[in-house]
């Protein structure tokens, strides 16, 4: 591939939803964007049900192919990489592919989540294997990706990591799953994931690598809608966040000299974006 002087971003889970919007926002803000997903071409996307009740997978739009075309239309280089968050070899291979192709990762956005049937089941219905695999995908394999990328950041003198965390990690569900609440397998895995940014900052901030926890808010994505249950959550008073808002937040965190004041805190996307829109 041809060389470029633009900063390089790696965004996971970018065939649709929040990840796609983040990838496009970064491309529009002057980044070349490598991005991962499981779905190669349009029409192949499938998402498992939220609960382990035997329902079939649902079709969802989006693909590596489509996101690549959208990024390139914005004048940025695009590098699509197939990655399955539940497959450790593919996670490590994704980082290796980007580093070998472009030689750097200046910004890593950990957006992808492990979707498994039943990872929002109620306590006594929860399959422990599902809980373990959810923890593996949402925490351990995210850690593996950070481990694969941070050494290259250190060699270049710095970099930024943005982890898309979840309010479910720190807030008790207002109701049982299916009635406006969320499952413990998912929320526990996101709670573990939420500790990674602090570990990065404790060990590598003095060498120029910084990490943020960004809570996107309650975003109803194509995948979330297909899995069901989002209307019950909305009925509990959770106001939806526009899907494009986390992308604006990521661009600001990656480029603003003022972003450092959010280190060690959970960045609440709706509040940050509202402040960006406020009159000076």
| Residues belonging to the active site | 186
- Measured at the CA of 280, the angle between CA 213 and CA 249, to 5 degrees, comes to 20
Give the dihedral sign, CA 268/274/277/280. Answer: negative
Q: Check if the beta carbon of residue 64 is closer than 8 Å to that of residue 82.
A: yes
d(CA 161, CA 146): 8
Q: Kindly state the tokens that stand for 205.
A: 């901030």
What is the C-alpha end-to-end distance of the chain, expressed in Å? Answer: 42
d(CA 273, CA 43): 33
How buried is residue 98: exposed, middle or buried, by Cβ count under 10 Å (0-12/13-18/19+)?
A: buried
Residue tagged 């982890």 (tokens): 163
């Amino acid at each position: 591939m041809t060389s470029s002087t633009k900063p390089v971003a790696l965004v996971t889970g970018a065939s649709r939803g929040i990840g796609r919007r983040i990838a496009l926002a970064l491309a529009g803000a002057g980044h070349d964007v490598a991005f991962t997903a499981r779905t190669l071409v349009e029409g192949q996307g499938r998402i498992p049900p939220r609960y382990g009740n035997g329902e079939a997978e649902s079709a969802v739009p989006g693909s590596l192919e489509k996101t690549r075309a959208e990024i390139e239309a914005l004048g940025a280089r695009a590098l699509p990489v197939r990655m399955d968050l539940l497959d450790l070899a593919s996670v490590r291979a994704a980082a290796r592919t980007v580093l070998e192709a472009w030689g750097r990762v200046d910004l890593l956005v950990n957006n992808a989540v492990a979707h498994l049937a039943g990872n929002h089941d109620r306590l006594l219905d929860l399959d422990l294997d599902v809980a373990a695999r959810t923890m593996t995908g949402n925490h351990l394999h995210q850690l593996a990706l950070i481990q694969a990328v941070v050494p290259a950041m250190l060699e270049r003198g710095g970099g930024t990591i943005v982890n898309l965390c979840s309010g479910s990690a720190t807030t008790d569900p207002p109701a049982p799953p299916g009635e406006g609440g969320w499952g413990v397998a998912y929320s526990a895995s996101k709670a573990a994931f939420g500790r990674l940014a602090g570990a990065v900052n404790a060990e590598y901030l003095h060498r120029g690598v910084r990490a943020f926890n960004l809570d996107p808010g309650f975003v109803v994505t194509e995948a979330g809608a297909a899995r069901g249950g989002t209307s019950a959550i909305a009925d509990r008073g959770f106001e939806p966040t526009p899907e494009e808002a986390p992308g604006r937040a990521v661009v600001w965190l990656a480029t603003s000299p003022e972003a450092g004041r959010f280190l060690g805190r959970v960045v609440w996307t709706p509040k940050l974006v509202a402040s960006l829109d406020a009159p000076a």
